[in-house]
């Protein structure tokens, strides 16, 4: 025994391999109250996959001082004029930050502070994004192929989905003349 170990988990650049990988799939039917256009949402195929998340969770959820590592794959598509996007969340321990980085395809990182000020950053292969604590975050696929990005966050951060599912972000990302634009969300 020479104390040189072989890792049991790998990162191929796009996918995670090996042990302790958690896989989650989010379909249209899992995303009620996320999209603004309720009629378009009701008409969308409920079983269509919107995104998949592979996560390496080396420690128990809630552990102070540990880290989690995930890759999200957002499929291309729209609900009405809104791009396919993740649910979005604040962290349950609200001061916990996170890194995101673009791996493949084109997307947008949509951010909102506690005062409901919303802005967005373009994501593309090689882009790196530091998400400060107290900032809600979600991503949207603005391209025609799969959009994949990496994430690294503290293992005690947790996810608070309730505020976003009840009140949304104050702005939504829609396609206008083939271009993504961030506009005020007016709920009818």
* Contact footprint for ligand PAN (CB under 6 A): 53, 70, 72, 86-89, 98, 137-138, 151, 153, 157, 159
Q: Tell which residue, 168, 180, 151, 166, has the closest CA to residue 83.
A: 180
- Residues 69-128 close enough to bind Zn ion by CB under 5 A: 98
Number of residues that bind Zn ion (CB under 5 A): 1
Q: Which does 56 bind (CB under 5 to 8 A by kind): ligand PAN, Zn ion, none?
A: none
Nearer to ligand PAN, 2 or 146 (CB): 146
Nearer to ligand PAN, 44 or 151 (CB): 151
Q: How far is the CB of 153 from Zn ion (least distance, A)?
A: 5
Q: In Å, how far are 61, 67, 73, 179, 185 from 108, measured between CA atoms?
A: 27, 24, 13, 12, 17
CA distance 149 to 45: 25
Q: How many CB atoms lie within 10 A of CB 21?
A: 17
Q: Which does 70 bind (CB under 5 to 8 A by kind): ligand PAN, Zn ion, none?
A: ligand PAN
Q: How far is the CB of 156 from Zn ion (least distance, A)?
A: 12
Contacts of 30 (CB under 8 A, 6+ apart): 50
CA distance 140 to 74: 7
Q: How far is the CB of 5 from ligand PAN (least distance, A)?
A: 27
């Amino acid at each position: 025994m020479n104390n040189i170990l072989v890792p049991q988990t790998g990162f191929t650049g796009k996918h995670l391999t090996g042990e302790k990988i958690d896989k989650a799939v989010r379909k249209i039917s899992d995303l009620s109250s996320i999209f603004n256009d309720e009629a378009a949402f009701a008409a969308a195929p409920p079983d269509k996959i919107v995104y998949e998340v592979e996560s390496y969770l080396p420690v128990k959820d809630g552990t102070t001082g540990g880290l989690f590592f995930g890759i999200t794959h957002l499929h291309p598509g729209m609900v009405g004029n809104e791009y396919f996007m993740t649910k979005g969340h604040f962290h349950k321990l609200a001061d916990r930050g996170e890194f995101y980085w673009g791996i493949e395809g084109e997307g947008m990182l949509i951010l909102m502070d506690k005062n409901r000020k919303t802005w967005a950053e373009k994501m593309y292969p090689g882009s790196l994004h530091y998400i400060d604590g107290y900032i809600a975050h979600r991503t949207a696929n603005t391209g025609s192929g799969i959009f994949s990005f990496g994430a690294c966050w503290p293992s005690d951060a947790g996810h608070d989905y309730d505020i976003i599912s009840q009140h949304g972000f104050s702005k939504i990302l829609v396609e206008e003349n083939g271009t993504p634009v961030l506009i005020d969300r007016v709920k009818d």
